[in-house]
Amino acid sequence: MKDKIFIRNPLRIIFLTAFISFLLLLLLYGVTQLENKVEKKMIKISIFDVISIAKNNAISIKEILDEGKNRDYISYLEEDYTLQKRIERHLKILLTKNIKYSYILYRDKKGIFRFLVDASKPKEKAALNQKFDVESEKWFNIYKTKKPQLITHKLLHELSITYLVPIIQNGEVKLILAIDFSINKIEDIENMITIIKNVIIGIVFITFIFLIILIIQTFKYSVMKKVVYIDKLTNVFNRNYLQESEDFINLNDYILATLDIDFFKRVNDTYGHDVGDKILKDVARIILKSTRNKDDIVIRYGGEEFVILTKTARNDHSSALNIIERIYKNIKNNKFYINNENYINITVSIGVNLVPFKSKTFSEAFKLADIALYNAKNKGRNTIEIYDENEEQITNCLSISEINEAMDENRVICFYQGIVDTNTKKISHYEALLRIVDKDGTIITPDKILPAIRGTFILRNITKYVLDICYKRLLEDENIKINVNLNPQDIINDSILSILTTYAEDRSISSRLGLELVENEDIMTCLDAKENLSMLKDLGYKIFIDDFGSGYSNFIYLTEIKTDYIKIDGNIIKRILEDDVSFLLVKSIVAFAKEANIKVIVEYVSSKEIFDKIESLGIEYSQGFYFSIPTPFETKDLVVR
């Protein structure tokens, strides 16, 4: 992970390249100084120059081997043919007329010396792990002293020398660099130094060219990053940055929070989008001022929602959580000026995932923070909600990635269940029911889909997908009516409202597309929701309140939002035969609905006995297995009794 981040940061590569260039220039300077002294100390430094070069070469080889990040030198060389050739090229630099051989050996567990790299000519070159016989005790002394050893061989016409340099890893001699040379004429040594100098000059030249190219590319990258990854309005990171970087974010280092500005649409509608943009900039400024520049990450996720990653210790979330609380308080206490004199107060809802490292991916960790944000909104907003991993167990459900994949592959479909006119026993409407076709052909129902995406933007995407399916179905058959289930957040979502507004340009569509909403306090009390429902009714849509009687059940709000239909909760209907309280509740709901001119639908009509009971109450519509089971239109076989 760290390696990938290093590669993605070009400034680090520039610094490293510049540092290497500096070292090469120093080395070039040293070689040049050495060349100037060769003629004056011809005999004196003949041996010592070779020794010095051998030591420097050993150091260079060790630096190359250390690139293996603590891998054992012997096994590293044995296994990596490219590494062998790279070091062989280093050794070949040493070869002159007088330096005949340069090679690297090691001693195996039996004490036998063996070749690892040999820079000899092809005909004389030893094979990998070929045995090498030694005669001098100094070969063994090098393992004890860990110091270079000089072995002389007196021949008839020349002095032959073997020079051994230990290459040490973790305090232990692992390899021996051996050089065999003879002393004849000083020109050979001068030529060798000239070769080394020319090689270094070539490397320095190439390095400088690379450095110039890298600097240019880094400048281009910085400009591109500013354009592509920074939100122009708020000057924080944008969603592009998150998509590009989420795989590189170490979830062990952060807690993850999602922040949403409460009732931001109301600000835009009341004061205009210019003021809304100013509020967004001010909120972003406060978030940035409240976070730590080097430790925390702030991202504008979309609209008025921000993602905040605050640095934390693995077992101590207090400092990171303090940052989130500081953001919350600073926004709450700030005066947001809409002009030079007047200001408004803004609050935010924040969902926090304290343990993102428990999730397999960033997306899963984000989803849990988003669930906490959803809970914060449901509890009245203006609060911080911390995700409780024991609160919601999502088992045997599709993952977010699987649901996204199903949408991409057009495996999201609708089944349809008939809603029957109680008097005529004929189909009046169909309710569209979400289904996903698994890759093996299995039909997956909402209870295995919705828990994984509840409170996330994926749920809105599913809603758009279902709306599109039903819209196309209505275009194909102008004689049917279809109801679509919406969740409370859909009614205040601009993109959903835009889709419905576009559909309503054809009144034959809006008059046949019913909108079913689950009874919920958020729907009943949210001013935006009520205004939007009123607008949708003006566009020709019929409003259905689903699962009525299971939750808030405030009859007054039914008249405020001017609902057209209520669907009594099926759990009440299932008990209507044996439970007098359930029967009386249904009876009172029906009586109120008739007075308010609201039509009633009952669900879970599964038998003739239940149907007879609800028919006696004068309920207008029925839905359940007694009449039909959910099926695709292509294979529907509705049975009406």
Catalytic residue positions, numbered: 304
List of residues 6+ apart from 474 with CB closer than 8 A: 480, 482, 509, 512, 513
Identify whether the C-beta of residue 436 lies closer than 8 Å to the C-beta of residue 449.
yes
Other C-beta atoms lying within 10 Å of the C-beta of residue 194: 12
Identify whether the C-beta of residue 305 lies closer than 8 Å to the C-beta of residue 294.
no
Question: Phi/psi class of residue 52: alpha, beta or left (left: φ > 0; alpha: ψ in -120 to 50)?
Answer: alpha
List of residues 6+ apart from 130 with CB closer than 8 A: 114, 115
Distances (CA, A) of 253 to 249, 289, 293: 8, 21, 15
What's the per-residue H, E or C state across 489-524? HHHCCHHHHHHHHHHCCCHHHHCCEEEEEECCHHHH
- Report d(CA 540, CA 252) in Å as an integer: 51
Identify whether the C-beta of residue 374 lies closer than 8 Å to the C-beta of residue 454.
yes
Angle, helices 318-333 vs 273-290, to 10°: value is 140
- Report d(CA 144, CA 577) in Å as an integer: 96
Across 188-238, the runs of DSSP E, i.e. the strands, are none
- Strands 305-311 and 336-337, by their bridges, are unpaired
At residue 178, the 3 state secondary structure works out as strand
How many secondary structure helices (H) and strands (E) does the chain include? 24, 22
- DSSP code of residue 253: G
At residue 47, the 3 state secondary structure works out as helix
| Length of the chain as a residue count | 641
Nearest to 450 by CA among 388, 405, 399: 399
